[in-house]
Chains A and B, each alone.
Chain A
Amino acid sequence: MAIVFQKTKGLTEKQTHYCPGCTHGIIHRLVAESLEELGLLDKAIGVAPVGCSVFAYDYFSCDMQEASHGRAPACATGIKRVHPDSAVFTYQGDGDLASIGAAEIVHAAMRGEKFTTIFVNNAIYGMTGGQMAPTTLIGQKATTAPLGRDENHAGMPLRVSEMLATIPKAVFVERVSVHDVPNIMKAKKAIKKAFEIQMKGLGFGIVEVLSTCSTNWGKTPVEALKWLKENMIPYYPIQNFRNPEEVK
């Protein structure tokens, strides 16, 4: 008998507080598996955000630090500069990274800080009960946009990967999704690559992962995956925007 799949050592035994079907759980697992497979668990230091993943420090078996809202890139900058041989990552939601923390991520990328950001875009503020995020889609309902996001009132959703890809020292930028098994495999490949690039000291790397929030989207977990595929991917295309081969 050979094991085809088992729980990675990169995750603790603790059961998560996430809602049923929340894809934060899949993304945690992919990060943990990547660290284990790259032999980085003993060297890894993660920075947890404010958002539903605020307790991520309980779920990863590596060292973890909690940051204040949006400030994970600043914490990661300090940690990586003091411990340059460690594998440092931030794990941030779209409210955390693209709203209150927008300046932090832009400047960390501009400076070419050598850490990896896992950016979980579920187009909503999950933890606080479903307010509109900068990434909320046009027409998508939120508690602060009960009739759906209106372009004339709230502008157009922010495409973070496209924006960061214009920054020279953001050497690895890729958007992936976890709405089905083939995309989950591709997401893991991108996350692994981002960590490899960090360990080579090439610059800042970010993987944007399209994720669901069935609770605040008002859908079942299965419906939420379908909604992601049909609504988020057309606006947030799954693609690599920057990779080190193009960085001379």
Chain B
Amino acid sequence: MAGKVTFDENRCKGCELCTTVCPVKIVIMDKDKINIKGYHPATVKEMDKCIACGSCARMCPDVVITVEKL
């Protein structure tokens, strides 16, 4: 099952909790970017590996992430 996650980047507080729960380990912090709050936001680069499990979104305290099943 393929999935797609989108990050409401400027809501992200860079806490990294989402990066610890992804079963395929694709959620990372984007060290090349700084958001409006001054944090490196979370992101996914290898989107084709996402299985749309929703774990990253459920772990996020700041409702940054939306998950879709493709």
Contacts and interface: CB of A to CB of B under 8 A. Distances in A.
Interface of A: 1-8, 11, 15-16, 18-26, 29, 180-181, 184-185, 220-222, 225
Contacts of B70: 1
A6 B4 CA distance: 12
A221 B55 CA distance: 17
B33 to A, nearest CB: 16
Nearest to B66: A6
A7 B62 CA distance: 10
Interface string B52-63: 111101111111
A23 B21 CA distance: 15
Given A23-B61, A29-B63, A180 B21 contact: yes
A5 B21 CA distance: 15
Contacts of B61: 16, 18, 21-26, 29
Chain B residues touching A, range: 20 to 34
Nearest to B59: A181
Q: Which of A6, A18, A185 has the most CB of B within 10 A?
A: A6
Contact of A221 (B4, B17, B52, B54): B17
Nearest to B23: A181
Contact of B20 (A4, A26, A222): A222
A174 to B, nearest CB: 19
B54 A5 contact: yes
Contacts of B53: 4
Q: Which of B17, B59, B60, B69 has the most CB of A within 10 A?
A: B17
A181 B16 contact: no
A20 B39 CA distance: 10
A181 B68 contact: no
Contacts of B52: 4
B55 A181 contact: yes
Contacts of B60: 25-26
